[in-house]
Structure 1
Amino acid sequence: MEHSRRYKRGYVLASIMLAMFLSAIEATIVSTAMPSIVADLGGFRLYSWVFSAYLLTNAATVLLFGRLSDMFGRKPIFLLGISLFLMGATLSALAESMEFLVFARLIQGLGAGALMPIATTIVGDMYTKEERAKIQGYLASVWGISAVTGPLLGGFFVDVLSWPYVFWMNIPLGLLAMSGILIFFKEQVTKKERVVDISGPFWVVFTISSLMIILVEGGVRIDWVSWPMLVLILMSVSGFLFFLYHEKKSREPMIPFHIWSIRSILYANLTSLVTGMILIGVSSYLPAFVQGVMERSATVAGFTLTTMSIGWPIASTVAGRLVLKIGFRTTSILGGVSLIVGGTIFSFLSPEKGPLFAAMGSLFIGIGMGLSTTSFIVSIQNSVSWETRGIATASNMFMRTIGSAIGAALLGGVLNSRIQSALEKSGMDDTFNVDSTNRLLTEEGREQLGGDALVVLQEALSAGLHRVYIGLLCLALVSFFLILRIPKKED
């Protein structure tokens, strides 16, 4: 009987790891392909929205799916999430404009909200407290495999085939993962009165989307001092207040406020908000720097992200052991130090430094993420019961995803604003605009620009990305001080 249970448990774990692979590889493979996608479809001003749209709906549903999995069981919600993810991937592959791609990414993000948190929760259900820390090493191997294959596949699809394959590859893998869960995963769900909070996710989308429009378009297409900007600010603030009011009176809130009274969860989640901004800053814009400013290929751009994705699983595997020996707080502090080192390297990044220097910064960011996220998850799952483990785990990923969504918009706004300012100073704003940056991302486009325009746009892109990386260092310092607030012992 025990042998049979472990046998099926192994198949379930393999299916979960395959589903997690879809989510893990999405970050590196789409980031590697994005410069080529935007060069083909146009609309550089919407560059950050391809990431933000995915992250927005991901953030809105991650808590909802976490709560639904506590009510209806992990299996049906997990299968629903994979189905939505594959639908969004199919639409993304068929996109013929940036606007449609952003829409497709909204749908893909809906499904992604279920993949990582429920996969992690199923592992928490299947394995004991002692096994959970060790099993993180197996889950970390997913990131290792995606680290190697993601950028390489992204570069291969772009340089040899075409970018839609970045999305088509999800279909067979997703169907295989669904089959494994359907056949091998059995669970006992205690029947209870079911109340689902639908308004909560709506207010999250309303609030964060308003905030993202402010951050991306502020000072570029919408003046900071204008009626449209005032309306957007009022929408964002009122949406946040309505969300708080709704959650407090809801019988089944998206985020049970009582879990925030546990200090280890509170500061782990706040840190994840900040590290989410760091993560998206590296993965979204490093390929644009390598291809647009350093004039390297998509494959080389993918390599600079590979080191981050390799550092993450290695550090995560080590963290699984460190948590048992030195505790989750000390392990998290080590992660915070690594983030600062990575942020410092990026703050000195320039075209002359080359891709190896950029890859070194990515490596330290990956190590920092691996050490901190693993210790956070183990700590959170050990501090709550089964009934709230799904929502508690999801709350941490929710905060990291919200951070990434806001970070993509904020850093995208900084970049767009800097490019716009450079064009105005050069007197070329009548001929070129932010979308003209598309041409920097391919060799043919750079040849068409000619001497002066090429120099102005490259310097603008370089200066804008330098500001982005200075911002990353500041965020790394903030995350370190938040980690120091984590209590030495679990509440």
Structure 2
Amino acid sequence: MDSEASVSGLKQTKRPYVLAAVMLAMFMGAVESTIVSTAMPDIVSDLGGFSLYGWVFSAYLLMNSVTVLIYGKLSDLLGRKPIISIGIILFLIGSTLCGFAQSMGQLILYRFIQGIGAGAVMPIANTIIGDIYTKEERAKVQGYLSSVWGISAIVGPAVGGILVEYVSWHFVFWMNIPLGVLSLLGIWLFFHEHLEKKNAEIDYLGAIFFTIAISSFMFLLVEGGVNIGWRSNASVGIWFGIVLFLGLFIWQEKRAKEPLVPFAIWKVPSIAIANVVSFITGVMLIGISSFLPTYVQGVMGENATIAGFALTAMSIGWPIASTVSGRLLLKIGYRYTSLLGGIFLVIGGLLFVFMKSSSGPLWAAVSSFFVGVGMGLTSTAFIVSIQSTVEWQQRGIATATNMFMRNLGNTVGAALLGGILNSRLQRYLEHRTDSQHASINSINSLLGNSGNRGIPSSLVSVLRNGLSASLHTVFLFVFFCGLLSFVLVMFLPKKE
């Protein structure tokens, strides 16, 4: 069932209302990332456990990454509507529980549940649009979908900052509930599928192997150099497990009738490059989303609202560029559109490298904006290209694979960059004679509305300088990701 056929075959489907419902579902997922990043400094200040900071993001992204391929395959077999509905319901359950979390451990557990649901929302929403709109219409409609990121970027940090300062951080999770309910109603009332359902043959064994491998990898990245020595027996044992289960995963994918990762899709050069670049930009994206608010608050000394608006600029640049990208695709093709996006990613990453504590939040916002423009140009080009390359029967899994690679980049990036931050900060404090036995969790005093909790000003200066140096290392890695993305985009086929 190609998109042209689906438009004529699904006459009962009211496309404008379905588009609105899909955009609402995407907004729910998009606002989650911006609003939680804005609220995290205050959440850590309240619940404690700065050393677990990265796991709040990693737990969500891990389950998102693992389930996205299962959902994509199920949507090809059972239809888009029931799968996205299940995802939204699970996401709302997780959001509700997150709001009731009383400790960092509970929050991480509930973020696992949230991530299981989130795995269905973004890829299936994009796939639905690929089904009900023609190839020519998709470039324009993708601009509409990307505008969701701009709206969420403005609403998320603004509302998040207000809720954190004047109400409670718990409400940043609960605000998802009405959004999800409205989206469900719109999808069930106005989206009507006509397809022959098949028996689902999901590669659950492959999913298990992959989950164990990537979870072990994340754990080592976060704890390595902090609680687990890189050359310790525990580290060697974990690496052995990673290689073993990754090998079992590849072996299972080659023999499975319905593999989670269809290797045939990867044989198409444009899809392969788009997926690899999506992974790298996923690392870049999570690095900025997770740690920029911490830099603005902990190093620059600004409040949660200012930190939120600094991050907002990235998601404002994203939809603007995505709308322009839809037009550029028809004029200059996806290769040159992607190259232009790669240039903006490099510029944005370079600005982050040169950012200092005295630069102010405006510098942070401009840097974020350039990265957002790069993301908007490349992501739109990739999705339209991939959906136009495959047939309906593979559109769900092809779209999900690209989302999976970006989510995987987010997952690995959250763990890797969190590990880099913790390791760099710990080394800094160990080599400072005036650290007064400060630990990584002492950073809690710089965040939120704690007012430094009465600690000596000399120690505040040490902690702030340590956090600045550690986050600068993170931003150096972000710049490297932008540079690598640009280099890879240059290898996209010239023939459209």
Q: Is the 8 A contact 1:92 1:101 kept in 2?
A: yes
Mapped to 1, the partners of 2:451 and 2:63 lie a distance apart of: 33
Q: Deviations over 1:375-411 (max 9, x none)?
A: 0000000000000000001101100110111111111
Deviation at residue 443 of structure 1 after TM alignment: 4.7
Between 1:420-429 and 1:104-113, the stretch displaced more is: 420-429
The reply on whether 1:105 has 2:111 as its aligned counterpart is: yes
Deviation at residue 429 of structure 1 after TM alignment: 6.8
From 64, 68, 90, the counterpart of 1:62: 68
Mapped to 1, the partners of 2:100 and 2:76 lie a distance apart of: 35
2:155 counterpart residue number? 149
2:4 counterpart residue number? none
Counterpart AA for 2:90: L
2:285 counterpart residue number? 279
Counterpart AA for 1:165: F
Mapped to 1, the partners of 2:12 and 2:157 lie a distance apart of: 34
Deviation at residue 198 of structure 1 after TM alignment: 1.2
Deviation at residue 204 of structure 1 after TM alignment: 2.2
Q: Is the 8 A contact 2:13 2:191 kept in 1?
A: no
CA RMSD of aligned residues (A): 1.6
Mapped to 1, the partners of 2:448 and 2:120 lie a distance apart of: 36
Deviation at residue 428 of structure 1 after TM alignment: 6.2
Mapped to 2, the partners of 1:443 and 1:127 lie a distance apart of: 48
Q: Is the 8 A contact 1:328 1:376 kept in 2?
A: yes
The reply on whether 1:355 has 2:355 as its aligned counterpart is: no
Deviation at residue 178 of structure 1 after TM alignment: 0.7
Q: Is the 8 A contact 2:79 2:197 kept in 1?
A: no
Mapped to 1, the partners of 2:199 and 2:368 lie a distance apart of: 47
Q: Deviations over 1:213-267 (max 9, x none)?
A: 1111111111111111111111111121111011110000011110000000000
The reply on whether 1:246 has 2:252 as its aligned counterpart is: yes
Q: Give the secondary-structure state (helix, strand or coil) at the position aligned to 1:125.
A: helix
Deviation at residue 7 of structure 1 after TM alignment: 7.2
Q: Is the 8 A contact 2:436 2:459 kept in 1?
A: no
Q: Deviations over 1:434-472 (max 9, x none)?
A: 111111103534142212211111111000000011111
Deviation at residue 108 of structure 1 after TM alignment: 0.4
Counterpart AA for 1:344: L
From 287, 290, 294, the counterpart of 1:288: 294
Q: How does 1:145-184 map to 2 (within 5 A)?
A: 145-184=151-190
Mapped to 1, the partners of 2:200 and 2:157 lie a distance apart of: 43
Mapped to 2, the partners of 1:105 and 1:155 lie a distance apart of: 20
Task: Sort the Cα spacing of 1:443 and 1:10 in 2 relative to 1 into closer, same or farther, 3 A.
Answer: closer
Count of residue pairs the alignment pairs up: 490
Counterpart AA for 2:19: L
Mapped to 2, the partners of 1:161 and 1:190 lie a distance apart of: 49
Mapped to 2, the partners of 1:155 and 1:106 lie a distance apart of: 24
Mapped to 2, the partners of 1:427 and 1:101 lie a distance apart of: 35
1:187 counterpart residue number? 193
Mapped to 1, the partners of 2:281 and 2:51 lie a distance apart of: 24
Q: How does 1:33-432 map to 2 (within 5 A)?
A: 33-427=39-433, 431-432=437-438
Q: Give the secondary-structure state (helix, strand or coil) at the position aligned to 1:352.
A: coil
2:3 counterpart residue number? none
Mapped to 2, the partners of 1:190 and 1:150 lie a distance apart of: 40
Q: How does 1:441-452 map to 2 (within 5 A)?
A: 441-452=447-458
Q: Is the 8 A contact 2:304 2:448 kept in 1?
A: no
Mapped to 2, the partners of 1:304 and 1:431 lie a distance apart of: 32
Mapped to 1, the partners of 2:256 and 2:459 lie a distance apart of: 56
The reply on whether 1:436 has 2:442 as its aligned counterpart is: yes
Q: Is the 8 A contact 2:12 2:192 kept in 1?
A: no
Deviation at residue 191 of structure 1 after TM alignment: 3.0
Q: Percent identity?
A: 55
Q: TM-score, normalised by structure 1?
A: 0.97
Q: TM-score, normalised by structure 2?
A: 0.96
Counterpart AA for 2:196: T
Task: Sort the Cα spacing of 1:146 and 1:235 in 2 relative to 1 into closer, same or farther, 3 A.
Answer: same
Mapped to 2, the partners of 1:423 and 1:333 lie a distance apart of: 41
Mapped to 2, the partners of 1:201 and 1:438 lie a distance apart of: 36
Q: Where does structure 1 lack aligned partners over 5 or more consecutive residues?
A: none
Q: Is the 8 A contact 1:219 1:417 kept in 2?
A: yes
Q: Is the 8 A contact 1:422 1:456 kept in 2?
A: no
Between 1:198-207 and 1:333-342, the stretch displaced more is: 198-207
Q: Is the 8 A contact 1:420 1:429 kept in 2?
A: no
Deviation at residue 184 of structure 1 after TM alignment: 1.5
Q: Where does structure 2 lack aligned partners over 5 or more consecutive residues?
A: 1-6
Mapped to 2, the partners of 1:107 and 1:32 lie a distance apart of: 21
Q: Is the 8 A contact 2:317 2:372 kept in 1?
A: yes
Mapped to 2, the partners of 1:309 and 1:257 lie a distance apart of: 32
Mapped to 1, the partners of 2:412 and 2:126 lie a distance apart of: 24
Counterpart AA for 2:266: W
Q: Give the secondary-structure state (helix, strand or coil) at the position aligned to 1:436.
A: helix
Q: Deviations over 1:106-160 (max 9, x none)?
A: 1101111100100000000001111111111221221121111011011011111
Deviation at residue 181 of structure 1 after TM alignment: 1.1
